[in-house]
Structure 1
Amino acid sequence: MKNDIEIVKIQILSNYKVISMNIEGITNEEAMIFPNGEANCLNWVLGHLIYIRNPLLNILGEEQVWDSEKFSCYNRGEIPLERKDEFISFDELKSYLKQSQDRLESKLNTMESFNPEQIKDISTLCFHEIYHSGQLGYIRRVLGKSGAIK
């Protein structure tokens, strides 16, 4: 159904806007601050979002933007504080985010329908992104920045 694709397109675009607003004006140094000395830093949350966008790209039949093995420090279940030396710069992450967005939008614009067996995975991955997009807003505030969503 075309409506399914429209819903996902709107979610992906809305998430991208929220993510972009929440990471605007954050330096690489600020992105590496772990709130309370242990909560996930902005760098990890953004990297994790991109890491999980890759399976969504794969489900849709598109190439992922990076090698999951090389960037495994951003995978679910990892302890970011223990792997922070493997993180890439915040600007590089922003570039990968843009690449993933471009690929998602391009692919969604050419699709006629989703494979019915993949609806649950697509929906879950969209929810995952919404969840972490909100976290970026809270971490932004913890860093002393004004809220980006007014």
Structure 2
Amino acid sequence: MSVDPRIAAPVQQFAVCATLVRKSVEGLSPEAMLASPGADSTCMLWNLGHVTNTRCGLLQILGVDYPRFHNELFGRGASHGEAEKYPAPEIVAAAFEEVTAKLVERFETVSAELLSQPSPRDFPVTDKSIAGTVNFLAFHESYHAGQMAYLRKWLGKGQLVG
């Protein structure tokens, strides 16, 4: 089966983001994963956990029974100052890889009927269908991939792309 044309572009965006997320955290120490440029800023580990948790939520919206990843730590509105409660970076990275594989698989099999249904979540887009949610969450992930690229450069690890 192939990807529904309504989500073909965001599916490509998710693939690009997965590559950028991996490159962002590559070779970082646990200490670097927890560093942030300001008291109200998120660290690399929080962004990785948030992207992972959001991908889990997208799987649920796409009809897959899959648990959220530490939603209390990485969900929208979660406090960023509780680093001692975070799982180890390698655990978060492994969870990202696992959910990414499941999401890639689901993108190939999701039906047009499901994508046409109203989304169970209300996002700030005019398309309130599940297809609209996929599109919005691809944008959302790009936003966080950009934050991760900035954090990597701020950490002195150089430019992520280019």
Tell me the TM-score normalised to structure 2 length.
0.82
Deviation for aligned residue 1:67: 4.3
> Which whole-Å CA distance do the structure 1 matches of 2:146 and 2:45 have between them?
14
Q: 1:100 is matched with which residue?
A: 99
- Root mean square deviation, CA, Å: 1.8
Residue pair 2:11, 2:138 contacting (<8 A) in 1 also: no
Q: 1:138 is matched with which residue?
A: 150
Q: 2:125 is matched with which residue?
A: none
Unmatched segments (≥5 aa) in structure 1: none
Tell me, yes or no, if structure 1 residue 80 matches structure 2 residue 92. no
Q: 1:115 is matched with which residue?
A: 115
> Which whole-Å CA distance do the structure 2 matches of 1:4 and 1:132 have between them?
23
Deviation for aligned residue 1:71: 4.0
Aligned length: 147
> Which whole-Å CA distance do the structure 2 matches of 1:58 and 1:24 have between them?
28
Deviation for aligned residue 1:121: 1.7
Q: Secondary structure at the match of 1:77?
A: coil
User: Of residues 52, 60, 63 in structure 2, which corresponds to 1:61?
Assistant: 63
Q: 1:30 is matched with which residue?
A: 32
> Which whole-Å CA distance do the structure 1 matches of 2:44 and 2:132 have between them?
28
More helix by share: 1
Q: Secondary structure at the match of 2:38?
A: helix
* Percent identity for Structure 1 against Structure 2: 23
Deviation for aligned residue 1:119: 2.0
Alignment of 1:36-55 (within 5 A): 36-55=38-57
Tell me the TM-score normalised to structure 1 length.
0.88
Deviation for aligned residue 1:36: 2.7
